[in-house]
Structure 1
Amino acid sequence: MKIDFLLNHPGKVKEVSEMIYKEFVMKTGSNMDFEDVFKYFANTKDNEFPITLIALENGMCLGTVSIFENDLKVRQKYKPWLGSLYTKPEFRGKGIGQKLVEKTINVVKELGFNELYLRTEDASDYYRNRGWTYVESLSDDKYEKIDILTMKC
């Protein structure tokens, strides 16, 4: 398996956009449409935000993760953020998500950051069990509780 920048695989932009649209956009009631998501991923970078990574094996995309400058408007002081971590269901439990996170941490460190943040509504224990540190919990207009966690780079 190889982790690489989506930028280097333009033929995978539609597939990544579909995964993220179904898993994160549709489920949150966002007013973004698929075309917005596609345009977003078609313009990700490899050395400035937003950055998207994909896990590839035998030419097949197994999962994805992105790095955003900010993923929570009420916490502008925290940056950058890990977001949209997704592994296709048939490939879960094989460490793909962890490898995507490890590569994300390395990319953030190479960009000169000492910390990486993430927000989660329901996976706090998953991240804490993998070394992430709890920062705070808060509410926003869509979710009752959001946990913010951090990882030193």
Structure 2
Amino acid sequence: MPRLVSLRDHLEYSDTFALWVHQQFAYEYSEQLLVDWQDEFREGQSNGEWQTLIALEDGQLLGGAALAKDDLAERPELGPWLACVLVAPQARRRGLAEQLIEGIYSQARAKGHERLYLHTHDRGDYYAKRGWEYRELFHAWGKEHWLMERKL
């Protein structure tokens, strides 16, 4: 049974999860070296920029999601953000993404936040079915993306 834990308390998984994010969302990181992203992401666990929950099972990393202070440089007035939602291929179809996202909602509520934002180019329907509202369409990283928000 997977357990959700704070990456801040298990930094040995930080570089691996950052690698997965860098690969999965390569269009966003095309101008940032992997090693620089790994450093930024690891530091973000303690400075509050990328507060991440990860799913572990038998010492194996299965996925994660982050409560990000800023995930869209063009919109600094918005935040916090649900970001870096990712489940390893072998662990999909087990409801882990849902659990991770719910965990981020709980973290955000505990910090007094009333809403979250996210951006996606291909998963809008997934989030809309889960209470997220489409806010606006924008163009970034060579793709059209939806900016979405959700009241907590």
TM-score by length of 2: 0.90
CA distance in 1, matches of 2:128, 2:16: 30
1:52-108 Cα offsets, whole Å, 9 max, x none, are 111111111100112211212222222101111110011111110111100001111
CA distance in 1, matches of 2:19, 2:52: 14
| Alpha-carbon distance change, 8 to 120 in structure 1, aligned in 2, over 3 angstroms | same
CA distance in 1, matches of 2:107, 2:82: 11
Matches within 5 A, 1:8-19: 8-19=9-20
1:28-74 Cα offsets, whole Å, 9 max, x none, are 46211121122122213368322111111111110011221121222
The answer to whether structure 1 residue 64 and structure 2 residue 64 are counterparts is yes
Q: How many residues align?
A: 151
CA distance in 2, matches of 1:47, 1:114: 21
What residue in structure 1 maps to residue 111 of structure 2? 111
The answer to whether structure 1 residue 32 and structure 2 residue 32 are counterparts is yes
| C-alpha contact (below 8 Å) 2:49/2:70 kept by paired residues | no
CA distance in 1, matches of 2:98, 2:48: 22
Where do 5+ consecutive residues of structure 2 fail to align? none
CA distance in 2, matches of 1:79, 1:56: 27
CA distance in 2, matches of 1:15, 1:144: 26
| Alpha-carbon distance change, 128 to 46 in structure 1, aligned in 2, over 3 angstroms | farther
Percent identity of equivalent pairs: 28
* One-letter amino acid matched to 1:13: S
Aligned-residue CA RMSD (Å): 1.7
* One-letter amino acid matched to 1:22: Q
1:93-150 Cα offsets, whole Å, 9 max, x none, are 111011110000111111111001000011100111111111111223x234210111
SS of 1:119's equivalent? strand
| C-alpha contact (below 8 Å) 1:62/1:88 kept by paired residues | yes
SS of 1:145's equivalent? strand
| C-alpha contact (below 8 Å) 1:121/1:143 kept by paired residues | no
| C-alpha contact (below 8 Å) 2:53/2:64 kept by paired residues | yes
| Alpha-carbon distance change, 29 to 111 in structure 1, aligned in 2, over 3 angstroms | closer
What residue in structure 1 maps to residue 145 of structure 2? 146
* One-letter amino acid matched to 1:7: R
